[in-house]
Amino acid sequence: MSSESSASSIFPRTDWAGLGRAADADEARLDALIRLYWGPLRIFLVATFPSLKDQADVLLQEFAEDKILKEGWLRRADPNRGKFRDFLKTSLRHFVLDRLNRADARHAPVSLEELQQELPGPAGPSDEFDLTWVRAVLAETLRRMEADCRDPASDQPRRGFIWEMFRIRLIDPLLNDAPQTPYDELIERFGIKSPTDASNLLLSGKRIFKMHLARVIKEYAEQDAATAAEIQELENFVSRLAKRS
Amino acid sequence: MSEFNSAAALSKSQPKSLAAFLAAGAERARFWRPEELSAIFRHQMSAPILVDLGGFDPATSVRLKTLSQAQSLLLKSFSDLFHHPVPPLELLSITKDFAKANMDHPESSLPHEVAAALYYASIATALVRLDARISQLKDAELQRGLLWAKDQPWVDDPTREILVEALKKIPPGVPPEGPPL
């Protein structure tokens, strides 16, 4: 399984019929979450346990099935006791350690010693995980924003222009190093009547982006307060990283 | 059909780019870059008056329409208004209020500098064309604002001329130091 796999469930071996009906909603949501954040999890696993690189996808699959989908796992991710991302990392780390311990008990004690040597430093893998996490969050946010703006059923006039303006003005120059499109070209392209009109188009884009960002994060951060805190935390994290680079 | 691959766009983004993107995505972040003020001011001057001022209450909107079409003046744009030999005073006053509202609002959709230039241009036009004072600003404050506006490199020449003419109508004095914004 790789981060590119997103078309279908990442849990093809899961016995969905065997799961309790009450848990169905949780399971489906977790399935989607893990699919979305498979990339960051894989990076964290490989960075934390380099010798397990070749088994990373299998281990993640097992982690998802044995740990995450286990009833009640998500409920233990108490927003008051820390971030969901940290809870996920700790769970994955414990899961792999447990697997290696069990393997160690069955076979030679090599794995455990290797494991002790390769236990991660606090910053490296975690930063890489968080950075990939931010990318995944933003990619999903932009994907949903585009779909929303291009929805032909939308009754908001010029909603497609809102996406195009947001992409041309913010995404392309800031994320793809594209040159800024001159203001005159923007007004011609979108038939903008005045600077106020132009700003409103951009402001609408920012609001739609913000709404989808909050929704994407809320799917794992749960509560509104925790969602706002997580957005702030992600912004602070990339700012800190940007200053260091 | 999606034309944009968000995952690909994000996959190699560096922290600096991500931080800049998140900061720019904030609602209060500046919409436009300083080097774009010239194009924005030009656009503002050519913008239909009724589009920008039409956001006022319905009664004012109707009044605006009447004023802008009065006496076959057909004032379509702010440029038409400022450069008309006898512009309607009320229309200049409403324009000044629109500009002031945008200057004072922290989330204004008009760049602060452009709003300020529009504000002083409307006051200057009333002074020059109608010999009327539509602002409560003291002479020194008005002088400072007019001086600031005329010195902006992105202000067009015809508007600059009005600002210069207006300055001549204010009794000479020492304007307070610093920008008026």
CB A159 within 8 A of CB B34: no
B94 in a domain, yes or no? yes
Residue A167 has pLDDT above 90, yes or no: yes
CB proximity B25 to A under 8 Å? yes
pLDDT for the residue A24 = 56
When pLDDT is averaged across residues A212-239 and rounded to a whole number, the result is 85
Question: Given an 8 Å threshold on Cβ–Cβ distance, is B51 in contact with A197?
Answer: yes
pLDDT for the residue A142 = 95
Q: How many CA atoms lie within 13 A of B73 on its CB side?
A: 23
Of B7, B33, B39, the CB nearest to A139: B7
Residue A149 has pLDDT above 60, yes or no: yes
Chain A residues near residue B23 by CB distance under 8 angstroms: 235, 239
Token pair listed for A179:
């040159």
Confidence bin at A66 (pLDDT 50/70/90): confident
B12 in a domain, yes or no? no
Among B2, B4, B81, B154, most A C-beta atoms within 10 A, so best to mutate, is: B4
Handedness of CA A88, B10, B21, A211 (dihedral sign): negative
B156 in a domain, yes or no? yes
3-state secondary structure chain A: CCCCCCCCCCCCCCCHHHCCHHHHHHHHHHHHHHHHCHHHHHHHHHHHCHHHHHHHHHHHHHHHHHHHCCCCCHHHCCHHHCCHHHHHHHHHHHHHHHHHHHHHHHCCCHHHHHHHHCCCCCCHHHHHHHHHHHHHHHHHHHHHHHHHHCCCCCCCCCHHHHHHHHHHHHHHHHHCCCCCCCHHHHHHHHCCCCHHHHHHHHHHHHHHHHHHHHHHHHHHHCCHHHHHHHHHHHHHHHHHHHHHC
Greatest mean pLDDT range, A100-114, A170-184, B125-139:
B125-139
**Tens of pLDDT, residues B92-133:** 998 999 899 888 887 777 889 999 999 999 999 999 999 999
Q: Which residue of B has its CA nearest to A143?
A: B6
> Picking from A2-11, A123-132, A154-163, which range would have the lowest pLDDT averaged per residue?
A2-11
pLDDT for the residue B53 = 75
B5 in a domain, yes or no? no
Confidence bin at B73 (pLDDT 50/70/90): low
Residue A74 has pLDDT above 70, yes or no: no
B58 in a domain, yes or no? yes
Range of the domain at B97: 35-168
Helix or strand run (H / E) with residue B161: helix B157-168
Of A138, A141, A200, the CB nearest to B109: A200
ipTM score here?
0.80
A53 or B106, which is more confident: A53
B42 in a domain, yes or no? yes
B70 or A142, which is more confident: A142
Chain B residues near residue A5 by CB distance under 8 angstroms: none
B77 in a domain, yes or no? yes
Question: Given an 8 Å threshold on Cβ–Cβ distance, is A194 in contact with B19?
Answer: no
Confidence bin at B83 (pLDDT 50/70/90): very high
* CB within 8 Å of B97: residues ≥ 6 apart: none
CB proximity A152 to B under 8 Å? no
Greatest mean pLDDT range, A153-162, A191-200, B86-95, B149-158:
B149-158
pLDDT for the residue B36 = 92
Shortest CA gap B27–chain A (Å): 6
Question: Given an 8 Å threshold on Cβ–Cβ distance, is A194 in contact with B43?
Answer: yes
Q: Which residue of A has its CA nearest to B3?
A: A146
Residue A115 has pLDDT above 70, yes or no: no
The distance of Cα A178 from the centroid of its chain, to the nearest Å, equals 25
Question: Given an 8 Å threshold on Cβ–Cβ distance, is B22 in contact with A235?
Answer: yes
Cβ density class A77-99: b for 16+ within 10 Å, e for less: bebeeebbbebbbebbbebbeeb
Q: Which residue of B has its CA nearest to A184?
A: B39
Q: How many CA atoms lie within 13 A of B46 on its CB side?
A: 10
CB A178 within 8 A of CB B45: no
Q: What is the tally of structural domains in chain B?
A: 1
Residue A75 has pLDDT above 70, yes or no: no
Chain B residues near residue A142 by CB distance under 8 angstroms: 4, 6, 9-10
* CB within 8 Å of B47: residues ≥ 6 apart: A193, A194, A195, A196, A197, B77, B78
d(CA A46, CA B119): 60
Rg (CA), chain B: 20
Query: Which residue in B52, B175, B39, B24 sits closest to B114, CA to CA?
Result: B39
Dihedrals phi, psi of B13, to nearest 5 degrees: -65, 130
d(CA B144, CA B27): 31
When pLDDT is averaged across residues A163-181 and rounded to a whole number, the result is 92
B65 in a domain, yes or no? yes
Chain B residues near residue A138 by CB distance under 8 angstroms: 6, 10, 13, 18, 21
Shortest CA gap B35–chain A (Å): 10
CB proximity B24 to A under 8 Å? yes
